[in-house]
Amino acid sequence: MKKTDADELSIANKEIAFQHQQKEDRAAELIIANKELAFQNTEKEKRAAELIVANKELVFQNEEKENRAAELIIANKELAFQNTEKEHRAAELIIANKELAFQNEEKEKRAQELIIANRELKNAEDDIRKLNEELERKVIERTAELETANKELESFSYSVSHDLRAPIRAINGYTRIMAEDYGSKLDEDGNKILQSIINNSKKMGVLIDDLLAFSKLGRKQVTLSEVSMSDLVSSVNNELMFEEGENIPVFDIEHLPPAKGDKSLIRQVWINLIANAIKYSRNKPTTTIGIGSFEQGNLMVYFVKDKGAGFDMQYYDKLFGVFQRLHSQEEFEGTGIGLAIVQKIVDRHKGSVWAESVLNQGASFYFSLPKI
């Protein structure tokens, strides 16, 4: 009985040992399973983290796809706009090509017209050349005629200077002899006639002198140099002669800058203008003559002003003509050539001469010359 119990106890212990061993094995397996479970949990966490990252990446990619889709929509719209623009450009190009074709046709027409015009131009050049040759021939002929006319004019001047002066001097001399020797035998009318002959022969001599002076101006060579106007006017004024009891003029002379001209000819201009101012002021209580100048572009303008008889501006066109007078011989003596000489001298200096006046209130005469 005791042996049986021992066997049973031994078997039970073995069973218990076996069960302990099983428990230990199960515990070891459980440890391993727990480790495996922990590893799997770790892996799951990694996969979860990776899944989160992947989801974020997927969300980012979806956003990028949406952005690309939006950009694609914009690009498609831009492409559609560009296609529309291309169609417009194509239409414009078609129109431009048509315009170009039209212009080419017009150019061809112009080219044909130009060819015709060139032919006409060549014909015109030939005509001009022929005309120039004809003109040159005529110029040579006219030059020869002018030289002949100048020689005839010089001959005429010589004739006037010598052939006419002698008879006039004879008329004047013989008339004076008659007046001295036979004046007492003639009545008053006879003496008046003799005196009229003397006066008119004297006027004829002055007229011949003026005509000669006027004709010589066209042949005299103009020698340009710097002319001191102040000195020239002062010299002219110093040479003025006045008779006893005559109205002596008062001169108001401003600064006169120099100019370019022929001194002897410009001197004659001053003599004529100043003499006229004195002559046409002599019936006034006092004679005041202003002389001055001012600049006008590249010209110097000089003037002589008086407060004398003046003239009516409606007759201005006659003022500078030869033998043209705006006052009678009884009022003021003269031949009517003085101002014509002034104009001719100034014209030969490439200047201008003009006048302004109010009848019975005076006159102003101006002339221009090149500045230094």
Longest dimension (CA), the chain: 235
Express each pLDDT in 225-254 by its tens digit.
899 999 999 999 888 877 776 778 889 999
- Report residue 115 as tokens: 């060819």
More confident residue, 328 or 305: 305
* Residues 74, 187 within the same domain: yes
Nearest to 214 by CA among 335, 353, 355, 319: 335
More confident residue, 43 or 217: 43
Strand 288-296, strand 250-253: pairing: parallel
More confident residue, 18 or 210: 18
Looking at every residue in the chain, the average pLDDT score rounds to 83
More confident residue, 85 or 182: 85
Q: How confident is the model at residue 256 (pLDDT cuts 50, 70, 90)?
A: very high
Phi then psi for 106, rounded to 5 degrees? -65, -40
* Residues 187, 294 within the same domain: no
Give the pLDDT confidence score for residue 27 in this predicted structure.
84
* Residues 313, 244 within the same domain: yes
Give the pLDDT confidence score for residue 328 in this predicted structure.
46
Give the pLDDT confidence score for residue 215 in this predicted structure.
61
* Residues 214, 227 within the same domain: no
Distances (CA, A) of 11 to 3, 18, 147, 304: 12, 10, 179, 172
Residue 316 has pLDDT above 60, yes or no: yes
Give the angle subtended at the CA of 255 by the CAs of 253 and 259, to the nearest 5°: 115
* Residues 262, 361 within the same domain: yes
Nearest to 368 by CA among 279, 277, 297: 297
* Residues 310, 357 within the same domain: yes
Q: How confident is the model at residue 156 (pLDDT cuts 50, 70, 90)?
A: low
Query: Which residues have C-beta within 8 Å of that of residue 292, sequence separation ≥ 6?
Result: 253, 254, 255, 256, 302, 303, 305
Give the pLDDT confidence score for residue 207 in this predicted structure.
64
The domain boundary, picked from 219, 254, 282, lies at 219
| CA gap 128, 114 in Å, rounded | 20
The tally of domains found in the chain comes to 2
Provide the domain limits for residue 69: 1-219
Find the mean pLDDT for residues 301-308.
93
* Residues 94, 111 within the same domain: yes
Q: How confident is the model at residue 219 (pLDDT cuts 50, 70, 90)?
A: low
* Residues 155, 273 within the same domain: no
* Residues 185, 298 within the same domain: no
Amino acid at 367: F
Strand 362-370, strand 250-253: pairing: unpaired
Residue 361 DSSP SS3? coil
Contact status, residue 341 vs residue 272, Cβ threshold 8 Å: yes
The domain boundary, picked from 197, 219, 241, lies at 219
Lowest mean pLDDT: which of 82-86, 90-94, 324-328? 324-328
| CA gap 333, 150 in Å, rounded | 31
* Residues 235, 155 within the same domain: no
* Residues 121, 187 within the same domain: yes
- Report residue 124 as tokens: 């015109």
The domain boundary, picked from 219, 234, 258, lies at 219
| CA gap 329, 243 in Å, rounded | 20
* Residues 206, 228 within the same domain: no
Give the pLDDT confidence score for residue 332 in this predicted structure.
45
CATH code where residue 326 lies: 3.30.565.10
Number of H-type helices and E-type strands within the chain: 6, 7
Find the mean pLDDT for residues 184-208.
77
Phi then psi for 319, rounded to 5 degrees? -60, -45
Which ranges constitute the DSSP H helices of 162-313? 165-182, 188-217, 229-238, 263-279
